[in-house]
Structure 1
């Protein structure tokens, strides 16, 4: 998919399945970078990252995709079933709920509008599945930047929840909210 934002061309954003063995070194650099503090893997060793993504690859309720910008790795997307992972017991999932995480690779040369283009591409991918009715996220309550991005693509915060690793802002985005937000 080719993406533009604010009138400027961002380029092609595509997704491919993550290969834990091949992509672990790349991901390790991303998740341990200071700009990725909310990913909570700052102290992870390479083998920890590889194991984490091998577990995700083997999990029928969770998967990871590597995002490419003009063919170059640039972001990570995780999709999960909140009835089985991440949010079990913290809210009542509805049919068609899909959980999502995304991480944009840290860079010294940020491109204006890139992160919004990435979250838009991620949401487009999730809603490409007709079974997806609503996307669920649970970012850290202190991650104000991601709250603004989430709002820009149609997420509506519901409430704060306490997860074992963080206090999170449980938010939802329906297909209608996403379509309205990206068409505005």
Structure 2
């Protein structure tokens, strides 16, 4: 008998993109898919290029058991399309690089590689907006914390577009990272500010 997928815990429709949703990561259903993503060269900054399937399963079992770190699988029109993790910085290595404040939440995002001929313009930006909408839908969250590798300039540019501000370069396990923050107001100003008609075309 086919096992039913967990119900999405958050869903948004993005014009020109489709329906994006988040549901709890399911070890028995999602590990093989995730292993196929994290072992491709594009995912080098995820740090699992040489990981076996068992390695990925062990890491996400560990995450599930922490109580302060959660993985969710993102879907695009019902198909696996990205992974997001939310975590409490006070229990993470980044918490040793700054003083976490009440209302801080950490975020990691990995978007799946597009299938040949199926690249959707604006998809990654839409995923980021949906994830930040999800995080800020929690009234206890005041600020999102990210720590991308300093070499990952593409994700830094996307973070800045979403309202993140760079704070400092910090040493974390396996990388030097740009510690960056985005408050609720910074996100709102960056994404939902009115665009002048001359720029909108």
Check whether TM > 0.5: yes
Quick one: distance in 2 between partners of 1:22 and 1:50? 11
Describe the superposition over 1:106-145 as per-residue Cα deviations: whole angstroms up to 9, x where unpaired. Answer: 1233211000001111111100100000000000001011
Quick one: distance in 2 between partners of 1:141 and 1:110? 26
TM-score (norm 1): 0.96
Structure 2: 5+ residue stretches without partners = 1-11, 194-201
Describe the superposition over 1:62-104 as per-residue Cα deviations: whole angstroms up to 9, x where unpaired. Answer: 0000000011000000000000113131111011000000000
1:22 aligned residue (17, 29, 32): 29
Q: Which 4+ residue blocks in structure 1 deviate beyond 2 angstroms? A: none
Quick one: distance in 2 between partners of 1:116 and 1:69? 13
Partner of 1:173: 182
Matched residue count: 180
Structure 1: 5+ residue stretches without partners = none
Question: Aligned with 1:76: secondary structure?
Answer: strand
Partner of 1:3: 14
- Ranked by relative contact order (alpha carbons within 8 Å, sequence separation 6 or more), the top structure is 1
Q: Could you tell me how far 1:58 is from its partner in structure 2?
A: 1.1
TM-score (norm 2): 0.88
Report the RMSD for the aligned CA atoms in angstroms: 0.8
Q: Does 1:74 align with 2:81?
A: yes
Quick one: distance in 1 between partners of 2:60 and 2:28? 9
Quick one: distance in 2 between partners of 1:170 and 1:85? 13
